[in-house]
Chains A and B, each alone.
Chain A
Amino acid sequence: MSSQVTGAQALVNALEALNVEVAFGIPGGAVLPLYDPLFDSSIRHILVRHEQGAAHAAEGYAMATGKVGVCIATSGPGATNLVTGIADAYMDSVPIVAITGQVGSKSIGTDAFQEADIRGISFPITKHNLLIRSADDIVRGIAEAFHIAATGRPGPVLVDITKDALNGLTDWAWPIEIELPGYKPTVTPHFRQVREAANMIAASRKPVLYVGGGLVKARAAEALAVVVDKAPIPVVTTLMARGVFPDSHPLNFGMPGMHGTVAAVGALQEADLLIAVGTRFDDRVTGALDSFAPHAQVIHCDIDPAEIGKNRTADLPIVGDCRLMLEELADRLDSVDLPDWSDWTRYLTNLQEKYPTWPGQAGDGMLSPQEVIRRIGAIAGPDAIYVTGVGQHQMWSAHFLPHEQPYSWLTSGGAGTMGYCVPAAMGAKVGRPDKVVWGIDGDGCFQMTNQEITTCTLNNIPIKIAIINNQVLGMVRQWQTLFYNQRYSNTELHTDLCPDFVKLAEAMGAVGLRATTEDEVDGVIARAMEINDRPVVVEFVVHKDEMVWPMVAAGTSNSDIKYARDMAPIWEEDEL
């Protein structure tokens, strides 16, 4: 069946046909033709206050639901404001589609009003992007964009559409066949490779499952649990993978990397076999590459072949979907004899007990940020969705929240985007209104995107944001403390003077709460938990000198990890 509609109407029809429930965006000149049919559509459009918020909200929605997130902006500055969010989605492989209006096709290249070459700008930060100049190409372009964003290694796709294409007439027809001769992700892992992986595991003495964000994208938590059930291999979960394996499991040794646990870092450094699944040997995990996991053979499974061998040579490469790989591996493990790894596990358990993550120390009667985060986790529980900004509070959240459930931890990993928290929490809550959504943010991060609290108030999106206010850009200041002779160049935010976060929250229609002493902490968290008709912002005034430990200094070997300042663990290899 086909009928003539405008390009804009065809676009809205296509979005509806793709089951898009919600889009985050801001209209403007070039994209006005789209906003007209959108007005009558079943799609819920959430009018954000800044396009960066739209992109992060689309990410939050995608991460919380597993579906493709959608954001919309107009040409020029509208489109360029999306860039940070798109780059963030690219680094963390989050499936979003960004739709941008573009000036009329005849004006392209003339430096027309609000013209920006967003396609050119976004080449290096999108999985794919396209410029559509004709109404006839819109439906195909959108269908391909969603297909590319969601399949293979997920990622952001930008669709730039000229105003005359939106206004032009076209035939509406659905479904359409997708023709992408150059795009065919390898999904099914090769069974021989997986069989060989099972053999290598059976031959290993000190194996470690090093799992990353790919497990979240592949919804592979259950498959991992089955593998560990059959083969009791110690597990380390990267920042992006927190929650895919419960922290309470005795074989979960926590997060590896620059601020990882001693046990997780030690596991990688001492291992003779890494089973790396959905992870990319990022520099924040490996430290100095040449001394990373020096004794280990590597099995590396990823859906993106370019990740395999990029940073660390893989002895056994497996290209494919992480969930399918783990399911196949679980089957293959039935036909091998597994050795007893209890000495190895005991060694790691010993490290874990001996060098727990630095719990912080209260000083000057001020709140300990670690303790505040722990209390939020204890009261909100493992069923809540947690979202963070970037910096010290993010690392403490990675360590001290109850990471027991998969797909409920949203953080900006690869890009490290300050300002991610509030809009991403908004997107997560829109996608999962049934869940309690807590954002743990810093006072620096919060001031970058807090305008979306207004959006939450007006659209009935009752998120809860904890501001861990240490009055400084804490992580940067920590580096100044450790590596720049305590010269605190431009890291004092003076949030003790302004803004008043409680008033700021209230001005945006949220409930504003504050805790400055230990006996106020549980009370404000409990109060925040009771409020479900509007957003809540809770400010926790904490000590500014608290540092994140453990830490591997940038560019040094993981084996030189410090569990507290100037305190190095003793590896005691002879125990093995």
Chain B
Amino acid sequence: MSIVTTLSVLVQDKPGVLARIAGLFARRGFNIESLSVGPTEREDQSRITIVALTEDAQTTEQITKQLNKLVEVIKISELEKGKSVRRELILVKVKTDESNRRDVLAIVEMFRGKVVDVSADTLIIEVTGKYGKVHAFLDMIAPFGIKELVQSGSVALARGGSSITDRSRYDRTPKAKA
């Protein structure tokens, strides 16, 4: 059985960081289920959420250790289920017409989705939530006919007052002299 691990990786925002991380996963044969990257509260840092699939705990540990060796990686924290919130976002273009639009809208309502575009025979619906919710929604909407689907990777944060940067020893590390 695969182990699903969610890692939040704080990196320096420098060109090529994402290529380096993706390359590391490819080279060492680690499986990525999803990866999403974006800016953080600090201009010079980005945060990458990686959902990795491994066969054993040892591989999970290797992923973390190998990522930590990358010079641009500042901090990694594993986000455990229950102690973190995880969200993904989908945009889905569904076939609708006069006869079934109401039914579709009812489902959208139920999942607290949003209609973001309307045409004569389609709707684009936006839904966010954790994996289970998003996929339950897709199951419900599928019979109407999905014309197009796009899905983001997971983003996640640890619950509670602490932050990944608090736990980083970044600011306490004495600076080396050249």
Contacts and interface: CB of A to CB of B under 8 A. Distances in A.
Interface of A: 17-18, 119-120, 123-124, 127-128, 131, 143-144, 146-148, 151, 174-184, 304-306, 309-310, 313
B132 to A, nearest CB: 33
B177 A175 contact: yes
B51 to A, nearest CB: 21
Contact of A304 (B16, B23, B69, B178): B69
A472 to B, nearest CB: 34
B12 A182 contact: yes
A179 B175 contact: yes
Given A120-B19, A123-B19, A184 B169 contact: yes
A178 B70 CA distance: 16
A176 B173 contact: no
A417 B62 CA distance: 27
Given A128-B71, A143-B178, A176-B178, A306 B65 contact: yes
Contacts of A120: 16, 19
Contacts of B173: 181, 184
A178 B175 contact: yes
Contacts of B72: 182
Given A306-B65, A309-B58, A147 B71 contact: no
Contact of B68 (A119, A181, A306): A306
Contacts of B12: 181-182
A147 B12 CA distance: 18
Given A123-B20, A123-B23, A147 B68 contact: no
A183 B15 CA distance: 17
Contacts of B65: 305-306, 310
B74 interface: yes
Most buried by A among B20, B69, B173: B69
B66 A182 contact: no
Contacts of B70: 182
B11 A182 contact: yes
Interface string B3-16: 00000000110011
Interface in B21-71: 23-24, 27, 58, 61-62, 65-66, 68-71
B73 interface: yes
B68 A305 contact: yes
B62 A177 contact: no
Given A148-B71, A305-B68, A306-B62, A178 B16 contact: no
A17 B178 CA distance: 9
Contact of B71 (A143, A180, A309): A180
B73 A182 contact: yes
A184 B175 CA distance: 10
A19 to B, nearest CB: 11
B74 A181 contact: yes
B165 to A, nearest CB: 11
B27 A124 contact: yes
Contacts of A175: 177-178
A302 to B, nearest CB: 11
Nearest to A123: B23
A176 B176 CA distance: 9
A181 B170 contact: yes
A124 B71 contact: no
Nearest to B69: A306
Nearest to B27: A124
Contacts of B69: 127, 304, 306
B115 to A, nearest CB: 40
Contacts of B168: 181
A120 B24 CA distance: 12
29 contacts: A120-B16, A120-B19, A123-B19, A123-B23, A124-B24, A127-B69, A127-B71, A128-B71, A131-B15, A144-B178, A147-B178, A148-B71, A174-B178, A175-B177, A175-B178, A177-B175, A177-B176, A178-B178, A179-B175, A180-B71, A180-B176, A182-B70, A182-B71, A182-B73, A182-B75, A184-B169, A305-B65, A309-B58, A313-B58
Nearest to B11: A182
Nearest to B26: A124
